[in-house]
Amino acid sequence: MAKGDSGVVAAQPPQAMTTEEYQKVNFNDFKKGEEAAAEANKALASISNKEFSSATDLAKEWDLAVRPVSDKYGVEIASKIFLKDDKHFMFGAAYSDGNTVRVNSAIAPDVSRVNYREHGYIHTHPWNESFSGDDISWLKFRDHPMDERAYVTLPNGQIYEGRLGGPNGHQRRIY
């Protein structure tokens, strides 16, 4: 999810979870989040300055580094994605609220350099289900350029891409 979005859908459990299970895991443990993010950033260090020619390549390599950490802590982890000179994709540092079913990608760190603009975000789900209600809200309603994308990676290795607009954000599986 992203804070400050104009459209907000009611929080709903992933299909894999009952409402009760969802209520048990839907809380922020910022200490755990900090630990998970620090470990994710360590795992990402060797590619943190890499300029990717495609966002799907970025998604794959980011997930290879972050997935084991997301699975270990059982929390969602996110990075913002930036487009440099309208040509190369880079990701910002990883962030986590220490929450199993949410991450506030909007407060993930920026990459503050000239000629960069925000392209979207990538995040993990600790369960095998694509975009959540909050994710779809971002895809449907956020007031930003139409070429922005969101990515979600799953424990089973699948990665989905969604882009702005349409009833469900034009989702497609890319891995």
**Residue 5 interacts with Zn ion (CB under 5 A)?**
no
Compute the least distance from the CB of residue 80 to Zn ion, in Å.
14
Compute the least distance from the CB of residue 38 to Zn ion, in Å.
21
Whose tokens are 């986590």? That residue is: 96
**Residue 39 interacts with Zn ion (CB under 5 A)?**
no
**Residue 135 interacts with Zn ion (CB under 5 A)?**
yes
Encoded tokens for 129: 């289900």
**Residue 132 interacts with Zn ion (CB under 5 A)?**
yes
Q: Give the whole-angstrom CA distance, residue 5 versus residue 22.
A: 22
Q: Give the whole-angstrom CA distance, residue 52 versus residue 3.
A: 27
Q: Which residue is nearest to Zn ion (CB)?
A: 135
**Residue 148 interacts with Zn ion (CB under 5 A)?**
no
Compute the least distance from the CB of residue 122 to Zn ion, in Å.
10
Encoded tokens for 148: 């922005």
Q: At what angle do helices 30-44 and 55-73 cross, to 10 degrees?
A: 130
Residues of the shown chain interacting with Zn ion in the complex, contacts defined by CB under 5 A = 132, 135
